[in-house]
């Protein structure tokens, strides 16, 4: 069974930084695009960022452009989300998710981790 395990969440002050990690196993990580999706407490789902299977393409939702950076290390089966200039509205449970299609991404999120909670508060 595919495993995705997020870590790195915590409490940070507005303007601060956090680095989230997602450890992937039981599938060929280097073959799949990956995503970060977040869910504010009691709210719905919001796609945050995409990275292609080889790391050559990255895309972000407008509200995090210029502040968040997605990256991956295919040698370590790890997905990263570097979050800078954090705002209270970034408070959410952050999930990493595997695309349903190998190679060129489809954009549906097949497997999800359990999430890591980021709280931005003074």
Partner 1 sequence: IVLTQSPATLSVSPGEGVTLSCRASQSVSSNFAWYQQKPGQAPRLLIYGPSTRATGIPARFSGSGSGTEFSLTISSLQSEDFAVYYCQQYHTWPPMYTFGQGTKLEIK
108 binds partner 1 (CB under 8 A): yes
Q: Cα–Cα distance between 32 and 102 in angstroms, integer?
A: 5
Per-residue contact string for residues 86-105; x = within reach of partner 1 by CB under 8 A: ---------x----x----x
What is the DSSP annotation of 85-113? S--GGG-EEEEEEEEEEESS--S-EEEE-
The correct pick among 13, 26, 110, 121 for binding partner 1 (CB under 8 A) is 110
Least Å distance between CB 122 and partner 1? 28
Question: Do the Cβ atoms of 58 and 110 come closer than 8 Å?
Answer: no
2: left (phi over 0), alpha (psi -120 to 50) or beta: beta
Sign of the four-CA dihedral 25, 30, 32, 38 = positive
Number of residues that bind partner 1 (CB under 8 A): 22
Least Å distance between CB 120 and partner 1? 21
Per-residue contact string for residues 30-69; x = within reach of partner 1 by CB under 8 A: -------x------xxxx--x--------x-xx-------
Binding interface with partner 1 (CB under 8 A): 37, 44-47, 50, 59, 61-62, 95, 100, 105-115
């Amino acid at each position: 069974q595919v495993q995705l395990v997020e870590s790195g969440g915590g409490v940070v002050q507005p303007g601060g930084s956090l680095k989230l990690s997602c450890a992937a196993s039981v599938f060929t990580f280097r073959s799949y695009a990956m995503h970060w999706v977040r869910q504010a407490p009691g709210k719905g789902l919001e796609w945050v960022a995409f990275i292609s299977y080889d790391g050559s393409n990255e895309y972000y939702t407008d509200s995090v452009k210029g502040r968040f950076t997605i990256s991956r290390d295919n040698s370590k089966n790890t997905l990263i989300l570097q979050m800078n200039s954090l705002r209270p509205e970034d408070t959410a449970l952050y999930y990493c998710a595997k695309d349903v299609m190998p190679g060129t991404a489809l954009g549906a999120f097949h497997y999800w981790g359990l999430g890591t909670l980021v709280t931005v508060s003074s």
